[in-house]
Amino acid sequence: MKTVRTKAELKAALAGLSGTRALVMTMGALHEGHLSLVREAAKAADNVCVSIYVNPLQFAPGEDYESYPRRLGADLALLEQHNVALVYAPLDEDIYPRTPLVRIDPGPVARILEGKTRPTHFAGVLQIVHKVISLVQPQKAFFGQKDAQQLALIRTMAADLDLPVEICSVPIRREASGLALSSRNAYLSAEEKKAAETLSQSLFAARSGAAAGLGADAAVERIKAALAANPLIETDYVHAVDPDTFLILDGEKQVHGRALLVLAARVGSTRLIDNLEVDFR
C-alpha cells in the first residue's frame, strides 16, 4: 500500500498501477462502514484507491471542521489490512492552493431535507468528489446508501457533467434490530437505543404496507405517527423521494413504482437518519 499527499505524487503512483481502479472517498476516522465500502470496491476492480481528507468546503462556519477526528496513522494501519493499493491523503495547500472560484451548483436537491439546515454542505461535497474523481480517474467510485441524499447528488453530478465513472452504492449495514449502523449510535443510552429502533422498524412496516397496497402519502403519515408515539423521538422530516433525483414525491403527486422513504429524527440529543427503498403499486 502506497500513501501519497500531493497531486504530483498521486500521478506518479497511478502510473505505476496496472488494471482497473475503484475509489472509496472518506474523511478518515475509519470504521466498519468505510471498510464495507473498501471490501465492495476490492471485488469490483484490480486496485482500490482510498482518499482520506477532511474537506473544509463542506463545513459551514460554526460546524465541527476543527474538531473533526483526524487519525491518519490509525487509518493507514487499518487500510494496510484491507488490500488497498493506494491512499491519497491530500495536503490542504495542494488540493486547494487557493479558495476555488469555480463552484459546483448542486441544484435544488441540495437545499431540501439534509440541505435545509446545511445549505452549503452538498456544494462542498460535490466540489471535492469531482476533484478527487478527476485526479484518481477510477472506473468505479463507491459511496454508502446511508447518506442517500449525498449519493443521489453525486450520481446526478456524474450524469449531468458526464463524469467518466460509474457511481456504485453499498447497502446500509444494520444491527439485528434493524437499527442502521452509525458512529453516532455510540451516543445513545440503552433507552434511547431502543427508541432509535423505531426508525428502521417504521420504515420496514411501511414497506410491508406498500406491498399490501398502502400509498406513499399514507406510508409517510404512518411513519410519522409511529415516531410521534415515542416521547424520546423528535422527528425532523419523513418523505418519499425519487430514488434517482431525490426530489420529494409525497404530497406532490401519486407515487407508482420505486421510491425511497427517508427520515431524520433526533433521539435524545442524537440526530439519526435512515432510508429504505419501497415499491408503491
User: Cell digits for 107?
Assistant: 441544484
User: Residues in contact with ligand PAF, total (CB under 6 A)?
Assistant: 10
Angle between helices 148-160 and 121-136 (to 10 degrees): 60
Contact between residue 32 and residue 55 where contact means Cβ atoms under 8 Å apart: no
Asked if 230 is part of the footprint of ligand PAF (rule: CB under 6 A), the reply reads: no
Which amino acid type is present at position 244? D
Asked if 26 is part of the footprint of ligand PAF (rule: CB under 6 A), the reply reads: yes
**What is the contact mask toward ligand PAF in residues 58 to 97, using x (rule: CB under 6 A)?**
x---------------------------------------
Nearer to ligand PAF by Cβ, of 132 and 233: the residue is 132
Nearer to ligand PAF by Cβ, of 70 and 224: the residue is 70
Contact between residue 138 and residue 22 where contact means Cβ atoms under 8 Å apart: yes
- Per the document, the length of the chain is 281
Q: Which span sits near ligand PAF by CB under 6 A: 22-30, 101-109, 182-190, 217-225?
A: 22-30
The residue from 36, 55, 156, 182 that contacts ligand PAF (CB under 6 A) is 55
Chain-centroid distance of CA 147 in Å reads 3
Please give the Cα distance from 245 to 112 (Å, whole number): 12
Handedness of CA 46, 154, 28, 273 (dihedral sign): negative
The CB-of-211 to ligand PAF minimum distance in angstroms stands at 31
The residue from 128, 180, 219, 262 that contacts ligand PAF (CB under 6 A) is 128
Q: Which span sits near ligand PAF by CB under 6 A: 2-10, 124-132, 205-213, 247-255?
A: 124-132
Which amino acid type is present at position 58? Q
3-class DSSP assignment, residue 41: helix
- State the catalytic residues: 34
Please give the Cα distance from 34 to 139 (Å, whole number): 19
Asked if 147 is part of the footprint of ligand PAF (rule: CB under 6 A), the reply reads: yes
Nearer to ligand PAF by Cβ, of 224 and 271: the residue is 271
Binding site for ligand PAF (CB under 6 A): 25-27, 55, 58, 125, 128-129, 147, 150
